[in-house]
């Protein structure tokens, strides 16, 4: 029987610490505060835009963690 290897991507993907309900709630709250209809389409637009910004945030975070020596 082949050995099953769990990669970092699999571990992160299956982690329960990434809670999509929290993300959805934050998006809907912000839409409500701005008096924008809380529709699936509007929520998707916000999330896709946020993902583009997330790439920059992740890169900045990695550099900051390297500079602080926080990686093993």
- What residues have CB less than 8 Å from 50, skipping those under 6 apart? 27
Residue whose tokens read 């839409």: 31
Cα–Cα distance between 27 and 41 in angstroms, integer? Answer: 12
Of 2-6, 22-26, 27-31, minimum mean pLDDT range? 2-6
What is the total count of domains within the chain? Answer: 1
Is the residue at 18 inside a domain?
no
| Alpha helices for the chain (secondary structure H) | 8-14, 20-33, 40-68
Q: Establish if 33 belongs to a structural domain.
A: no
- Residue 45, pLDDT > 80, answer yes
In a domain, 57, yes or no: yes
Of the chain, the percentage scoring pLDDT greater than 90 comes to 69
43, part of any domain: yes
Instruction: Indicate whether this model's pTM tops 0.85.
Output: no
Domain of 56 in residue numbering reads as 38-72
Assigned domain for 52 exists? yes
- Rounded CA separation 34/27 (Å): 11
**Cα–Cα distance for residue pair 66/72, rounded to 1 Å:** 10
Q: Is residue 17 part of a domain?
A: no
Domain annotation covers residue 64: yes
Residue 27 lies in a domain: no
């Amino acid at each position: 029987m082949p050995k099953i290897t769990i990669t970092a991507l699999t571990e992160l993907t299956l982690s329960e610490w990434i809670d999509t309900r929290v993300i959805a709630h934050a998006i809907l709250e912000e839409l409500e505060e701005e008096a924008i209809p809380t529709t699936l389409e509007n929520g998707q637009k916000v999330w896709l835009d946020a993902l583009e910004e997330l790439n920059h945030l992740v890169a900045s975070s990695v550099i900051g963690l390297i500079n602080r020596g926080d990686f093993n």
